[in-house]
A and B are shown apart, each in its own frame.
Chain A
Amino acid sequence: MSTQSVTITVDGTPIEVNPDRMLLPELLDKGFSIPHFCYQESLGSDGNCRMCMVEIAGKKRPQISCDTPIVAGMEVRTRGESIEKVRRDILELELINHPVDCPICDQAGECSLQDYYMEYGLYQGKVDKKEKHHFDKHIDLGANVLHDQERCVLCQRCVRFCRDVTHTDELCVAGRGDHSYITTIPGETLHNAYAMNVTDLCPVGALTSKDFRFQQRVWFLATSPSVCHGCAKGCAIDIDHAKSKYHDDTIYRFRPRKNPEINGEFICDAGRLSYKETQTYLLRTCLAKEEILADAEALDRMKAILTEDEYPIVVLADANLYTEELAALQAFARTFHAQLYAPLEAYHDPAFGDDWLKSSQRAANAEGVKRLGIATEMPTLNDNTLVINVNHPDGHRTANRIDLLTHRPDENTERVPARLTLPIAPWVRSSGHLINEDGIEQYCEQVLRRNDPTPTLLERLAHFLDKGDDTILDNMETAL
């Protein structure tokens, strides 16, 4: 804590708090449960929902804690008959125009409104259905964001996100009073590269992802912390996945995971949707030119080529590989007297980059490559060199080549067929470290259980390295 903390009393217990912040964030950090809609850590206070009321000794009326400065010695009450009644009454008002259609709402299970009214015992709607206002329930706001105006509590988080964070201002509150609603100007849509964050910010089911809608009830999902591989920013993400009977463990979505040093609480839409790439068009079989090979056969052939051919060997490594995998490739290169390169030019994408999160360096571990001292230029290659292409986007130019690929080659790109092609598992199936463009290192857990037999890169390499030789591990340690 940068400033001197002060002591206040909350529900009779003295606690130490930071007087530079408002009361609500401090109370939330200290684990008090205070209903709130409009306050949001990244967006700050707006004071419109009036849900976060607490009692302050000496104040006649309850106060909204999101706009209450902390004063040393203050006495705060968050529980008790009277303050809970205040909250219940406000919540009841919040619900009078809300459809309370949780059974068919995507947000069910992660909706603050639902949590609160269960907590405050308001389950039966107290107002006649016929008196409720009816608004549009299925509005496509663009950017995969769907809006249900009836469920909206007008906390304005979405408007404030587009105003204060992306500065694109596509959303507004229109109308007035209880006819207010959230909208874009007619005929236009959300057009910022981060728009889908509003589906996370929305505390209720009023903004949902078209991509995720009705795919899975949230309580069936398991969550694994990971890092987006969409660019060198390396945004922290949570990966929600589920394994249902007779189906593979499947990823349903990427969500931002809070990391104040990198992405705060947000990710870009491209990164968010990149989960699809981790489980589609995966390569599952080994090939020799067009011919399908069994895995063991392919490995034997690869060994044979490596040990019998006289060509000098060049390894081209994908700069998205984990540091551990890159280190293993270094050991591999040493073993076979090969030159290792991770050419970065191929990942340069100025159209992608912006001045916030999105980086024009699309390789997730470009920094890891540099730290390991791996050469980053593209060597001049011809068919007198044997190329071991480990998933590098530009690694398919010469014919004298072995491919280790996660995905089936894109049929649209002109591609010289490799002598041998072996699949390796995509990054969600393995684990390791990434170093982002600002030098921040993060660990990615293995997210998916093994769905198919495709080995990881490390498993593949193990066949070529002396089991007793712990160079790999040594290298990994120096790398980290």
Chain B
Amino acid sequence: MIKDIRIVSRRFNLPQSHTLEVARQHGAYRSIETLTERTPEGIIAAVEASGLRGKGGGGAPTGAKWRLMEGEFDGRPKYVVVNADESEPGTFKDGHILSKDPHLLIEGILLTCYALGAHDAYIYIRGEYYERQQILQHAIDEAYEAGILGQSIMGHDYRVDLTVHRGAGAYICGEKSALLESMEGKRGHPRLKPHQKEPEWYFGNPTLINNVETIATVPFIVTEGADAYRQYGTERSPGTLLFALSGHVNRPGVYEAPFGTSLMEYIEHYGGGIRNGGTLKAVIPGGASTPVLTADEAAQARLDYESMQGLGSALGTGGMIVMDESVDMVEALKNLMAFYHHESCGQCTPCREGTGWVDAILARILAREGNRDDLKKLLDISETMNGKTVCVFAPAASSVIDAMVQKFETEFLRYLDTGGAA
């Protein structure tokens, strides 16, 4: 049976949890009050030892990423950027942190800045999160007034300034290098990958980017210790994640759970099962860029990186889209490909042209004007989109196409066999 574990969401249900007063009554900023007890190295070491993995979708080890920020870099300033672009369909967990416990995020940012020697931090928030941005900004204003942010954080001889940077409607700006391009005032075109391990660069200065939830996990690790975090989850996916449910479940929403939880148990326990007592057909496990799981696969799935990978999918952001037997999978894929078509930054050929072509072919299939070659064509284009582009947007789309077409081929064939030019 599932036991509730609340690390990041522990204050979510308190009335007025977003206010400084309530947050402080329930432990916010303790780690900053006692900052003198810690060294930057101590904080980095704790994050490293906790095994914390990035919660923006990639699951990269956070400690190792922080280590890339060590060094002098010719005295250039260091920056911390929090990724609150959250635009991956099916994903809405960061929004909960922003609106329910913004002070947890600010506390995490302070610790991160202090650990890495950064004095300026930014939160890049998607433009559509206007109301959530208002709440966040209010929390930041409160923190400034209380001397928690600013020239000397909670009286310590350390400055941290925090600025919210509003996006304007572009999923790709969640990709870290596109995000930085956007913050440099440019179009959100992802950058070419560096040839060696190095930090990100903001106007040529070393910069760390982490997801909202990743940073919001740091206070717990710092105050409770790496082992306290590691007691949850699995060996290789330690801790918890704010998983989310949407689609055909009775109680959609965001519920924190340890990595390794059984997917079906999670759906039952938190989601209250399939809507209207229906049967499960498929689950997209971690946001729209993870390959779909059939009901059979979902039955074996555990919510951790390794298990999902073992099933040929990915944990992604942990935002699950649950589909019952009423769903037409051709329409579902068309819906997702319309998204990819709309959101491709357009920089590289395979993605710019591939997403549009796939979208057009699916439209043709749905209009019953497709032919059997179209399925092969879809897989061919998908192959060209895989591993040949600047960023992993196109490969993600490719994996989504492959899984849908391969796992639900009969549904596609039904469109092609009843009419059409086959």
Query: Given A53-B388, A67-B192, A86-B388, do A93 and B349 touch, yes or no (CB 8 Å)?
Result: yes
Chain B binding site: helix, strand, loop or mixed by DSSP?
A: helix
A165 to B381, CA, bound (A): 36
Task: Give per-residue flags for B327-349: 1 if the beta carbon is below 8 A from chain A beta carbons, else 0.
Answer: 00000000000000111111111
Contact of A154 among B346, B380, B384 (CB under 8 A): B346
* Residues in chain A near residue B264, CB distance under 8 A: none
* Interface positions of A from 118 to 135, Cβ below 8 Å from B: 127, 131, 133
Are the CB atoms of B381 and A177 closer together than 8 Å?
no
Q: A300 at interface (Cβ–Cβ under 8 A)?
A: no
Are the CB atoms of B353 and A96 closer together than 8 Å?
yes
Contact of A50 among B170, B341, B348, B357 (CB under 8 A): B348
Q: A20 at interface (Cβ–Cβ under 8 A)?
A: no
Contact of B348 among A49, A62, A92, A176 (CB under 8 A): A49
Interface size class of A (residues with CB under 8 A): 20 to 34
A177 to B397, CA, bound (A): 14
Q: A76 at interface (Cβ–Cβ under 8 A)?
A: no
* Residues in chain B near residue A89, CB distance under 8 A: 350, 380, 383-384
* Residues in chain A near residue B343, CB distance under 8 A: 177
A469 to B381, CA, bound (A): 77
Q: A191 at interface (Cβ–Cβ under 8 A)?
A: no
* Residues in chain B near residue A93, CB distance under 8 A: 349-350, 353-354, 357, 381, 384
Q: B197 at interface (Cβ–Cβ under 8 A)?
A: no
* Most chain B CB inside 10 Å of its own CB: which residue of A60, A97, A176: A176
Query: Given A69-B195, A93-B353, A96-B357, do A180 and B384 touch, yes or no (CB 8 Å)?
Result: no
CB distance from B167 to the nearest CB of A (A): 13
* Residues in chain A near residue B349, CB distance under 8 A: 48-51, 90, 93-94, 153-154
* Interface positions of B from 382 to 413, Cβ below 8 Å from A: 383-384, 387-390
Are the CB atoms of A178 and B348 closer together than 8 Å?
no
Q: A179 at interface (Cβ–Cβ under 8 A)?
A: yes
Are the CB atoms of A127 and B388 closer together than 8 Å?
no
Q: A31 at interface (Cβ–Cβ under 8 A)?
A: no
Q: B187 at interface (Cβ–Cβ under 8 A)?
A: yes
Smallest CB gap from A179: residue in B = B346
Task: Give per-residue flags for A38-66: 1 if the beta carbon is below 8 A from chain B beta carbons, else 0.
Answer: 00000001011111010000001110000
Q: B355 at interface (Cβ–Cβ under 8 A)?
A: yes
Query: Given A90-B384, A93-B357, do A176 and B170 touch, yes or no (CB 8 Å)?
Result: yes
Contact of B345 among A53, A62, A94, A177 (CB under 8 A): A177
Are the CB atoms of A176 and B192 closer together than 8 Å?
no
Q: A270 at interface (Cβ–Cβ under 8 A)?
A: no
A97 to B388, CA, bound (A): 19
Query: Given A93-B381, A177-B341, A177-B345, do A154 and B352 touch, yes or no (CB 8 Å)?
Result: yes
A69 to B192, CA, bound (A): 13
Q: B61 at interface (Cβ–Cβ under 8 A)?
A: no
Q: A173 at interface (Cβ–Cβ under 8 A)?
A: yes
Are the CB atoms of A48 and B388 closer together than 8 Å?
no
Query: Given A86-B384, A90-B384, do A47 and B192 touch, yes or no (CB 8 Å)?
Result: yes
Q: A468 at interface (Cβ–Cβ under 8 A)?
A: no
Task: Give per-residue flags for B352-384: 1 if the beta carbon is below 8 A from chain A beta carbons, else 0.
Answer: 111111001000000000000000000011011
A94 to B384, CA, bound (A): 12
Query: Given A89-B384, A93-B384, A127-B357, do A178 and B346 touch, yes or no (CB 8 Å)?
Result: yes
Smallest CB gap from A92: residue in B = B384
* Residues in chain A near residue B348, CB distance under 8 A: 47-50
CB distance from B358 to the nearest CB of A (A): 10
Contact of A178 among B170, B355, B388 (CB under 8 A): B355
* Residues in chain B near residue A94, CB distance under 8 A: 349, 353
Smallest CB gap from A61: residue in B = B387
Are the CB atoms of B346 and A90 closer together than 8 Å?
no
CB distance from B65 to the nearest CB of A (A): 23
Contact of B350 among A50, A69, A173 (CB under 8 A): A50
Smallest CB gap from B387: residue in A = A61
Task: Give per-residue flags for A151-169: 1 if the beta carbon is below 8 A from chain B beta carbons, else 0.
Answer: 0011000000000000000
Q: A80 at interface (Cβ–Cβ under 8 A)?
A: no
A175 to B170, CA, bound (A): 12
Contact of B352 among A45, A67, A127, A178 (CB under 8 A): A178
Task: Give per-residue flags for A167-195: 1 if the beta carbon is below 8 A from chain B beta carbons, else 0.
Answer: 00000010111111000000000000000
Smallest CB gap from A94: residue in B = B349
Contact of A177 among B192, B355, B360, B380 (CB under 8 A): B355
CB distance from B188 to the nearest CB of A (A): 9
* Interface positions of A from 65 to 105, Cβ below 8 Å from B: 67, 69, 86, 89-90, 92-94, 96-97
* Residues in chain B near residue A153, CB distance under 8 A: 349
* Most chain A CB inside 10 Å of its own CB: which residue of B170, B341, B352: B352
Contact of B341 among A51, A60, A92, A178 (CB under 8 A): A178
* Residues in chain A near residue B352, CB distance under 8 A: 154, 177-178, 180
* Residues in chain A near residue B390, CB distance under 8 A: 47-48, 50
CB distance from B259 to the nearest CB of A (A): 27
Smallest CB gap from A67: residue in B = B192
Query: Given A50-B389, A96-B357, A97-B353, do A176 and B345 touch, yes or no (CB 8 Å)?
Result: yes
* Residues in chain B near residue A96, CB distance under 8 A: 353, 356-357
* Residues in chain A near residue B354, CB distance under 8 A: 93
* Residues in chain A near residue B353, CB distance under 8 A: 93-94, 96-97, 178
A377 to B2, CA, bound (A): 98
A353 to B376, CA, bound (A): 60
Are the CB atoms of A178 and B344 closer together than 8 Å?
yes
CB distance from A77 to the nearest CB of B (A): 16
Are the CB atoms of B388 and A50 closer together than 8 Å?
yes
A451 to B284, CA, bound (A): 76
Task: Give per-residue flags for A13-49: 1 if the beta carbon is below 8 A from chain B beta carbons, else 0.
Answer: 0000000000000000000000000000000010111
* Most chain B CB inside 10 Å of its own CB: which residue of A51, A89, A133: A89
* Residues in chain A near residue B350, CB distance under 8 A: 50, 89-90, 93
* Residues in chain A near residue B356, CB distance under 8 A: 96-97, 133, 177-178
CB distance from A137 to the nearest CB of B (A): 19
A97 to B346, CA, bound (A): 13
A31 to B405, CA, bound (A): 42
Query: Given A47-B192, A154-B352, do A176 and B384 touch, yes or no (CB 8 Å)?
Result: no
Q: A90-B349, A177-B345 are in contact. List 14 more A-B contacts (CB 8 A).
A: A47-B192, A47-B390, A48-B349, A50-B388, A53-B388, A61-B387, A61-B388, A93-B354, A175-B346, A177-B342, A178-B344, A178-B346, A178-B352, A180-B346
Give 10 A-B contacts (CB < 8 Å), ordered by A residue. A49-B348, A61-B387, A93-B354, A154-B346, A154-B349, A176-B170, A176-B344, A177-B342, A177-B344, A179-B346
List the 7 shortest-distance A-B pairs measured between CB atoms, nearest first. A93-B353, A180-B346, A178-B356, A61-B387, A89-B384, A177-B344, A177-B346
